[in-house]
Amino acid sequence: MTPISSDLLLSEQAQEASLGSPALQATTQSPSKVLVVEPHPTLRTVLAQRLRQDGHLTAAVASAREAVDLCREQTPDLLVSAELLEQNSALRLAQQLGCSVIVLTARPGVEPLVGLLDDGADDVLRKPFGLEELAARCRTLLKRGRIGLQERVAVGPLEVHLLLRQVTLREKPVELSPREFALLCALLMPPGMVRSRQELLRMAWPPFSGGPRSVDTQVLTLRRKLEQAGLGEGGGITTVRQQGYRFSLDTLPS
């Protein structure tokens, strides 16, 4: 595996490699929540897409401030972060979020790596590194922490079977496309949280594909399918003006 470098990331080959399947794919384990914090926009996109290929629910932001704002309602299972961030560091951010961290550093030599591990990093990778190495280290940490073992999410009469990639309503199957399934999972983790269109794009769409209108179209289709299945008007999905969408518990039938 060719290591990642700035030149490689800007190449056509790297751009093509960043395109792939939606955030949720068939996988041997249910989705874990992984947050990538990396100032370099192309590297940030490629890292997030590679982790999504392993079935992780992956969000990617450029700064510690964005990370904290994104995680106000829930904690990621794993943080993959550049060592030095504006007015912060990967280790301090991990402490704030209360999660494990893989630190990405550009500093040469052994001492910086040892220092980061001694200071509390769960793992350290030096840039440039291979995408497959990062993916393997993430899998190891998530497995070691017994993270991502939840098999299903139940909200009222609706159940999402993560391992089987199936949705049932009152034990009857609801047929969804892979994109609709990924979108529903994004809205349900956790239920009741307002998700902006940009957040839904990051969680349920590959990079460089789709836009806000794509989200609106898919939400409309998902609503119709959930309505037809008997979930009630709007399929439990409400529009929050100027903010985004929410899977609203109070709209579910008793």
In whole angstroms, what is the distance from residue 44 CA to residue 100 CA?
19
pTM above threshold 0.75: no
What residue segments make up the domains of the chain, in order of their start? Answer: 6-144, 152-251
Q: Does domain 152-251 have CATH number 3.40.50.10490?
A: no
Reply yes or no on whether the pLDDT at 29 is more than 60. no
Contact, 32 vs 47, CB < 8 A? no
pLDDT at 31: 77
pLDDT at 91: 92
Q: For tokens 């609106």, name the residue.
A: 216
CATH number of this structure's domain 6-144: 3.40.50.2300
Decide which of 18 and 80 is more confident.
80
Per residue in 3-13, pLDDT tens? 333 332 322 22
CA 226 to chain centre: 23
User: What mean pLDDT comes out for the span 175-201?
Assistant: 84
Give the CA distances from residue 45 to residues 19, 94, 122, 129, 178, in Å, rounded to whole numbers and listed in that order: 10, 20, 23, 15, 21
Q: DSSP per residue over 208-226, as a string? A: TS--HHHHHHHHHHHHHHH
Reply yes or no on whether the pLDDT at 217 is more than 90. yes
Q: What is the mean pLDDT of the chain?
A: 79
Reply yes or no on whether the pLDDT at 214 is more than 70. yes
Q: DSSP per residue over 84-95, as a string? A: EETTEEHHHHHH
Per residue in 144-171, pLDDT tens? 764 444 556 788 888 887 756 789 998 8
Percent of the chain with pLDDT over 70: 80
Q: Which of 106, 108, 88, 84 is nearest to 96 (CA)?
A: 88
